[in-house]
Amino acid sequence: MIEFVLVSVFGLVVGILIGLMPMMPIYLGSFLMYFFLFDWQLQSLLIFWIATLIGSQFFGSVAAITLGIPGESSSVVYVNQVRQLPLNQRAKLLWKTARGSHIAGFTAIVLVWLILTQFTGLHYLGNHWLKLFFYTFAILVFMFMDRRPWVALLLIMFGLFLSPGNNLVLPEWYYKLQFVFQDITFYMVIMGLMILPEFMFATDKQPQCDYRKLPRPRHSIKDSIIYAKHTVVGLIAGCIPGPCADVASAVSFKTQKGDTKDKVVAAETANNSACIFMLIPFFAIGVPITMTSLIMANVLDIKGIEILQTFESQPHLLHQIVGMAMLLNFVNYVLAVRFISVYTTFLKFVQNKILSIQVILVLALVIADIWMSEAQLTTYIPMMCATISLGCLLKFKRINPIPLVFAMLLGDTLIWTYLQTYYIIF
């Protein structure tokens, strides 16, 4: 129990720091689980994952609103408009976005708990045909959420090729060709395709605001309608494969009528419910559809844990995770509105040293990957350089790398699912 509480607090702090750091991807918190992979139990890993997810998404809006710097990618959609707002309006906006995020997060957590506990057996959700549908749906979404579907299809095929080969139905030549890429690790792929390009392409804006005492705005019926409407938008977006929080934020910002403040509240409400509701496909079907859930799926795969069977054999685990998630959601809300001046001071300090922080963080991640994979530097460095180059190219061309990561992680499962379907039909 003590470990559970300590890990929850640690995840809370890490999530807040990731959210406040300019342009720091929210899946970095999930990425840090690799450092504790063999030391923590499943309960601790799950709560750390959810704590960093909630905290980073919650506090990303603090950096975006106070300083006009995107704390996470889903705030990019409104950050330019927020910079035009006067200080007193930004202060009120902080209260409203925090309230909307709290309501949306709480609603999504309750729905996750109700959906997962109202079925007599979670294995009912995890059947072959439902997984087949969700895999196919995910691939189609990845293909058509970009104006170049063929690029996403090529990334999926390349990811299937790079995925670890444990499928005996594939021909021998496939594994001989794959041997060339044997030193590529999933850790390397996440860093090279996602994290490092985010750092390299992040913009550095100087802070211009100072916050002392914030006026607390009155709650109105209009605010309640915005919270309710865009919580639903986020819940729907949370079931869409890919960057669901970014999708929810963009849809809500563009569809909400009114001034900039209403649009920002709508966007933050939607992205917070989306980033939590994406737990449904992962917990209920075992299909990860976002970057954070892909990392978590890889962590569970390394530990040899089947999440559906675990929840069936230990139903109390789900209740513990949901209960702690509710508590963390409330704590994030309180912290978000009570210590704004502290966060602003921290952001100003970090802003002047962001390059040094990123270099130190990158070096630490690379050293950890080399140590964990026991790779040779002569092969690791060229592979890492090639992966970073590909990630920067995708970032420059505005191509989402998630299809590649999705196919690489689930390659064996995808191949086996479609082959099994072929054998059943024919």
215-228 pLDDT, tens digit per residue, is 556 667 877 888 88
Mean confidence (pLDDT) of the chain: 76
3-state secondary structure of 195: helix
CA distance 6 to 1: 9
What pTM value is reported for the model?
Answer: 0.72
Measure CA 135 to chain center. Answer: 19
Question: Confidence band (pLDDT; 50, 70, 90) for 81?
Answer: confident
DSSP states of 57-86 as a string?
A: HHHHHHHHHHHS--SSGGGHHHHHHHTTS-
The token pair at 243 is: 């960057």
CA distance 159 to 294: 13
pLDDT in tens, 329-367: 888 888 877 776 676 677 666 666 666 776 777 777 777
Question: Confidence band (pLDDT; 50, 70, 90) for 140?
Answer: confident
Q: What is the pLDDT of residue 6?
A: 85
Q: How far is CA 424 from CA 39, 129, 278, 421, in A?
A: 42, 11, 30, 5
Q: What is the pLDDT of residue 124?
A: 46
The token pair at 63 is: 């950096």
Residues with Cβ within 8 Å of residue 309, at least 6 apart in sequence = 123
* Of the candidate ranges 239-243, 316-320, 386-390, the one whose mean pLDDT is the lowest: 239-243
pLDDT in tens, 249-278: 888 888 888 788 888 888 888 888 888 888
Rounded percentage of the chain residues whose pLDDT exceeds 70: 75
CA-closest candidate to residue 405, choices 200, 160, 178: 160
Residues with Cβ within 8 Å of residue 168, at least 6 apart in sequence = none
Residues 242 and 400: beta-carbon distance below 8 Å? yes
The answer on pLDDT for 389 being more than 80 is: yes
Question: Confidence band (pLDDT; 50, 70, 90) for 17?
Answer: confident
CA distance 8 to 16: 12
Output the CA torsion sign for 257, 258, 261, 265. negative
CA distance 321 to 99: 22
Q: Across the chain, which distance is largest between two alpha carbons, in Å?
A: 70
H or E element: which one contains 100?
A: helix 87-117
The answer on pLDDT for 204 being more than 50 is: no
CA distance 131 to 123: 11
